[in-house]
Structure 1
Amino acid sequence: MTTPGTAADRARRGRTARRTVPRSAHAGWVPSVGRPDPVAVLERQGRDRLPELLPIRYGRMAGSPFAFLRGAAAVMAADLAAQPHTGLTVQLCGDAHLLNFGLYASPERTLLFDLNDFDETFPGPFEWDVKRLAVSVAVAARENGHPDTGAQRAALESVTAYRTAMRRLARLGELDVWYTRVDADRLLPLAGSAHDRRRVEATLGRARRRTSLRAFAKLTEVVDGRRRIVHDPPLLEPAGTADMAALRKIFSDYRSTLSEERRHLLDRYRFVDAARKVVGVGSVGLRCFLVLLAGRDTDDPLFLQIKEARQSVLEEHLPHGPYTHPGHRVVCGQRLLQAANDTFLGWMSGPQGRAFYWRQLRDMKGSADVAAMGPDELRSYARLCGTALARAHARSGDRVAIAGYLGGADTFDRAVADFALSYARQTVADHACLGAAVAAGVVTAAPGV
Structure 2
Amino acid sequence: MARNLKRLIGALAISIIVCTGVQAATSRPSFVVSDIYNYNHPYAATDSGDLATKMQLMSASAFYFYRGTADIFYRDTTTLPASSYTSNATGFTWIGGDAHLSNFGAQRDSGGTAAFTTDDFDEGYLGQYVWDLRRAAVSMVLAGRENGLSDSQITSGINTFVAAYVTQINSFAKGNGEASFQLTSGNTSSVVKDTISDANDGSRSDLLSKYTSTKNGVRTFQNASNLVAVSSANYTAISNAVDNYIQTISSSKRYAASYYAIKDIHQKLGSGTGSLGRLRYYVLIEGPSTSTSDDVILELKQEASSNVALAAPGQLPPAEYGSNEGERVALTNKAQLLNTDVLVGYATINGAPYYVHEKSPYEEDFDYTQLSSSSKFSTAMTYVGQALASAHALADQDYNSAIVPYDIDAQISAVANSSGLQTEISSFAFSYADQVNLDWQAFVSAYNAGTPLY
Pick aligned residue for 1:227 from 219, 225, 246: 219
Query: What is the match of residue 140 of structure 1?
Result: 143
1:54 offset after TM fit, Å?
Answer: 0.8
- Structure 2: where are the runs of 5+ without partners? 5-10, 397-405
Note if contact 1:331-1:357 (Cα within 8 Å) is conserved in structure 2: yes
Note if contact 1:286-1:308 (Cα within 8 Å) is conserved in structure 2: yes
Root-mean-square deviation (CA, aligned residues, Å) is: 2.6
Query: What is the match of residue 336 of structure 1?
Result: 335
Q: What are the residue-to-residue correspondences of 1:341-380 with 2, within 5 Å? A: 341-351=340-350, 353-373=351-371, 374-380=373-379
Q: What are the residue-to-residue correspondences of 1:238-257 with 2, within 5 Å? A: 238-257=229-248
Pick aligned residue for 1:313 from 302, 307, 317: 307
* 1:102-128 C-alpha deviation (Å, 9 max, x unpaired): 101111100011110000111111110
Q: Distance in 2 between matches of 1:236 and 1:443?
A: 27
* 1:158-199 C-alpha deviation (Å, 9 max, x unpaired): 1121112112221124xx3333322243332xx3xxxxxxx6
1:385 offset after TM fit, Å?
Answer: 0.7
Q: Distance in 1 between matches of 2:361 and 2:448?
A: 40
Q: Check 1:211–1:253 CA distance in 2 against 1; reply closer, same or farther (3 A cut).
A: farther
Q: Distance in 1 between matches of 2:108 and 2:145?
A: 32
1:33 offset after TM fit, Å?
Answer: 9.7
Find the residue that maps to 1:183 and give its secondary structure.
Answer: coil
Query: What is the match of residue 442 of structure 2?
Result: 433
Q: Distance in 1 between matches of 2:118 and 2:146?
A: 22
Query: What is the match of residue 96 of structure 1?
Result: 99
TM-score, scaled to structure 1 = 0.86
Query: What is the match of residue 428 of structure 2?
Result: 419
1:48 offset after TM fit, Å?
Answer: 2.1
Pick aligned residue for 2:414 from 401, 404, 411: 404
Q: Check 1:413–1:145 CA distance in 2 against 1; reply closer, same or farther (3 A cut).
A: same
Structure 1 residue 75 corresponds to structure 2 residue 72: yes
Q: Check 1:291–1:381 CA distance in 2 against 1; reply closer, same or farther (3 A cut).
A: same
Structure 1 residue 294 corresponds to structure 2 residue 286: yes
Q: Distance in 2 between matches of 1:32 and 1:438?
A: 20
One-letter amino acid matched to 1:109: G
- Structure 1: where are the runs of 5+ without partners? 5-13, 192-198
Query: What is the match of residue 9 of structure 1?
Result: none
Q: Distance in 2 between matches of 1:426 and 1:265?
A: 52
Query: What is the match of residue 167 of structure 1?
Result: 170
Structure 1 residue 47 corresponds to structure 2 residue 50: no
Taking only the aligned residue pairs, the percentage that are identical comes to 25
One-letter amino acid matched to 2:136: L
1:228 offset after TM fit, Å?
Answer: 2.1
1:340 offset after TM fit, Å?
Answer: 2.5
Q: Distance in 1 between matches of 2:306 and 2:415?
A: 27
* 1:53-106 C-alpha deviation (Å, 9 max, x unpaired): 211011111111111111111111111222344442201101011111110111
Note if contact 2:29-2:442 (Cα within 8 Å) is conserved in structure 1: no
Q: Check 1:66–1:185 CA distance in 2 against 1; reply closer, same or farther (3 A cut).
A: farther
Find the residue that maps to 1:348 and give its secondary structure.
Answer: strand
Query: What is the match of residue 179 of structure 1?
Result: 180
Q: Check 1:202–1:400 CA distance in 2 against 1; reply closer, same or farther (3 A cut).
A: closer
Note if contact 1:159-1:417 (Cα within 8 Å) is conserved in structure 2: no
Query: What is the match of residue 388 of structure 2?
Result: 389
One-letter amino acid matched to 2:207: A
Q: Distance in 1 between matches of 2:232 and 2:256?
A: 27
Find the residue that maps to 2:186 and give its secondary structure.
Answer: helix
Q: Distance in 1 between matches of 2:450 and 2:67?
A: 22
Q: Distance in 2 between matches of 1:201 and 1:388?
A: 13
* 1:218-258 C-alpha deviation (Å, 9 max, x unpaired): 1112468743211221x211122121111110010000101
Note if contact 2:264-2:283 (Cα within 8 Å) is conserved in structure 1: yes
Q: Flag the structure with more relative contact order, 1 or 2, with Cα contacts below 8 A and sequence separation at least 6.
A: 1
Q: Check 1:386–1:266 CA distance in 2 against 1; reply closer, same or farther (3 A cut).
A: farther
One-letter amino acid matched to 1:433: A
1:367 offset after TM fit, Å?
Answer: 2.3
1:381 offset after TM fit, Å?
Answer: 0.8
Structure 1 residue 209 corresponds to structure 2 residue 205: no
1:47 offset after TM fit, Å?
Answer: 2.0
1:440 offset after TM fit, Å?
Answer: 1.0
Note if contact 1:141-1:375 (Cα within 8 Å) is conserved in structure 2: no
One-letter amino acid matched to 1:137: M
Note if contact 2:71-2:310 (Cα within 8 Å) is conserved in structure 1: no
Give the length in aligned residue pairs: 416
